Amino acid sequence: MKKGLSKWMVKSIALLSVSTMVLGGCAKKEGNGSTITGGNKESATLDARYELDPETPAWKLDPQEMTELTWYVNADWWNTDWGNDIITKKIEEDLHVKINFIVGDDTTLNTLFAGGDMPDLISVFDSSSQVALKADSWALPLYEVADKYDPYFRKVASEETLNWLQLDDGKSYGYANYSNTKADYESGQLFAKTAFVIRKDVYEALGRPSMGTQKEFIDVLGQIKTKFPDLYPFGFNAFTTESTGSMGDPFQDFIGVPLVDESGNYYNRNLDEDYLSWVKTFNEAYRMGYISDDSFADDGTAFEEKLKSGKYATIMMDGTPQCSGFLTTWMNSNPDAAYMAIDGPQSTVGNQPTLNQAGISGWTVSYITKQCKDPSKAIQLFTYLLSEEGQILTQYGIEGVSYTINKDGKYELTKEAKDMQQNDNDRFKKEYRLGEFFFFGHDKYKALSDDAYPESIKQLQEWGTGKLVPHFLLENTNPGAGTEEARINSAVTTEWATTLVSLIRSNSESDFTSVLNNYKKFLDDNGWESVIKVKNQKIEKNREKLGNE
């Protein structure tokens, strides 16, 4: 789930603007966040509405006939429809709540804070943004809300997730979806999203070759170039001005580049010798015509077009679930040439893969604001969606309507639902909305069904079994927005994206060395040491949150 999210991350300038508004606007009106305050009517009538029972979700006790809540989602692509699909209709029926969604971008979010007229709920896409870090000035602490209105929340919420999102006051104000703990990684219920893939027909025609060593890698690409001249021998996810696609962190994880140094401090993985030796190999492949210039010019759409038409012989692929639709298109029309995962490039020093998945920080983070007119109903909604009942509903819908449970205990889409999904997907999304209401979703519930992922990526996921390693120590370690260190970090990130392209496209070994030395000089000239200091401080803070693991 986590990859592909960067386009929704709040940018530094926008975050600085929001931070200013949070501190300068809401803080004056709302106080310091130490007291739970809701609408006056709610505060006056709570005791009369229901008696708390720690063993029963409060939504089952609340006699309120209907409550309307306003929920802002910082994504203008979010589906604002409510009550017309089986998911939201069931939520409304069970909780007696109607949701009025507001959507927008960073500018909309800025306006909300500037105006001071806050919605009841807010969901953002970056737990390290200034909005999130200043949540004590505009949001309610969740445990306090739960203890006052719905103590059952403690039974369904992950304590580790909430502790991870604690602010300096020791309180947690937001809850993250797809927040995976160490136990989740060890459960076997999470699937890899990174793979080195090859077309099955190419693999068989070449005698199922190994591509583990750098010599093998070059040799196989050469065979592909000769025997399959219409194919791109090697492809990868698109580069951008700030992203190295699948050739940066994903490939580093693939060959097991260390996350931190031997002392547990920040480690510049981009300069790891094992990794750079493979970058040299990619440069050799480029100079031999095995990597096309198109791969550096293509945007995500162009990459996807080539993917669904099977134009790549091999691919270093990240975000396999996001690629599944394109892989499925190709597989359905060319089953004997479907893409499959193989071991691919391996560490030259014996490191094992350390593939990443969604981390403990999650994806979206949802909050109850201080201006929430009915905080009891809001926390009931959190509890409901976090419970197994809510998780099954949002992922699979309603038993007998959208799913059944087979003899093996697996969840299966009904024939009607599956037919509609395959033949009229727009209608399927409108009427069923399965998997879309993701604000409190978790990957482990996808493991309950063989229908959770398409056939085109199941073998890719199986290949990754046992290769996932938490990257928790590295989460949220970038410098805070608006700081000088943040500016340096942003400049270095952009410089590295350009540098990696230049390294792979170098005309000679001496050119390669020159480009690499220029990058190292850029780090020195731009005060990279100050960024390392901040990263080490944040790594240490993460280590403390994790219990000094």
Give the C-alpha separation, 9 to 113, whole Å.
Answer: 18
Q: Where are the strands (E) in 330-423, listed by range?
A: 339-342, 365-368, 403-405, 411-413
3-state SS class at 468: strand
User: Are residues 101 and 73 in contact, defined by beta-carbon separation less than 8 angstroms?
Assistant: yes
Eight-state DSSP code of residue 256: T
3-state SS class at 123: strand
Closest by CA to 205, choosing from 227, 233, 178, is 227
Give the C-alpha separation, 527 to 143, whole Å.
Answer: 41
Predicted TM-score of the model (pTM) = 0.83
Q: Label residue 244 exposed, middle or buried (CB < 10 Å: 0-12, 13-18, 19+).
A: buried
Eight-state DSSP code of residue 59: G
Give the C-alpha separation, 69 to 88, whole Å.
Answer: 13
Residues 6+ apart with CB under 8 A from 532: 266
Burial code (b: 16+ CB inside 10 Å, e: under 16) for 343-363 equals: ebbbbbeeeebbbbbbbbbbb
Eight-state DSSP code of residue 307: H
Closest by CA to 527, choosing from 485, 497, 494, 490, is 485
Count other C-beta atoms under 10 Å from residue 113's C-beta.
24
Count other C-beta atoms under 10 Å from residue 541's C-beta.
12
Q: Label residue 443 exposed, middle or buried (CB < 10 Å: 0-12, 13-18, 19+).
A: buried
Closest by CA to 4, choosing from 351, 474, 325, 426, is 325
Give the C-alpha separation, 159 to 243, whole Å.
Answer: 33
Can you read off the two tokens belonging to residue 405? 């449970």
413 has which bridge partners?
403
Q: Inter-axis angle of helices 86-95 and 388-396, to 10 degrees?
A: 150
User: Are residues 468 and 203 in contact, defined by beta-carbon separation less than 8 angstroms?
Assistant: no
Q: Which amino acid is at 99?
A: I
Give the C-alpha separation, 76 to 78, whole Å.
Answer: 6
User: Are residues 267 and 260 in contact, defined by beta-carbon separation less than 8 angstroms?
Assistant: yes
Name the one residue in this structure whose structure tokens are 């920040």: 266
Q: Per residue of the chain (549 residues), what is the pLDDT tens digit?
A: 433 333 333 333 333 344 444 433 333 333 333 344 444 334 333 454 889 999 999 999 999 999 999 999 999 999 999 999 999 999 999 999 999 999 999 899 988 888 888 999 999 998 888 899 999 999 999 999 999 999 999 999 999 999 999 999 999 999 999 999 999 998 888 999 999 999 999 999 999 999 999 999 999 999 999 999 999 999 999 998 888 999 999 999 999 999 999 999 999 999 999 999 999 999 999 999 999 999 999 888 999 999 999 999 999 999 998 899 899 999 999 999 999 999 999 999 999 999 999 899 998 999 999 999 999 999 999 999 999 999 999 999 999 999 999 999 999 999 999 899 878 878 998 999 998 899 999 988 888 888 788 889 999 999 999 999 999 999 999 998 889 999 999 999 999 999 999 999 999 999 999 999 999 999 999 999 999 999 999 999 999 988 865
CATH class of 6-39+52-184+361-396: alpha beta
User: What confidence score (pLDDT) does residue 281 get?
Assistant: 98
CA atoms within 13 A on the CB side of 311: 16
| Pair type for strands 97-103 and 67-73 | parallel
Closest by CA to 376, choosing from 79, 144, 32, is 144
Count other C-beta atoms under 10 Å from residue 187's C-beta.
13
Count other C-beta atoms under 10 Å from residue 58's C-beta.
25
The full set of domain ranges for the chain reads 6-39+52-184+361-396, 477-549
User: What confidence score (pLDDT) does residue 7 get?
Assistant: 35
Closest by CA to 370, choosing from 93, 64, 141, 78, is 141
Give the C-alpha separation, 285 to 243, whole Å.
Answer: 21
Closest by CA to 32, choosing from 171, 158, 206, is 171
Can you read off the two tokens belonging to residue 412? 């299966």
Can you read off the two tokens belonging to residue 103? 């959507």
User: Are residues 120 and 91 in contact, defined by beta-carbon separation less than 8 angstroms?
Assistant: no
Give the C-alpha separation, 296 to 480, whole Å.
Answer: 31
Q: Distance between terminal CA atoms of the chain?
A: 25
Report, in angstroms and rounded to the nearest whole number, the Rg of the chain calculated over CA atoms: 25
Alpha helix positions (H), 313-414 = 320-333, 375-386, 388-396
Give the C-alpha separation, 164 to 472, whole Å.
Answer: 10
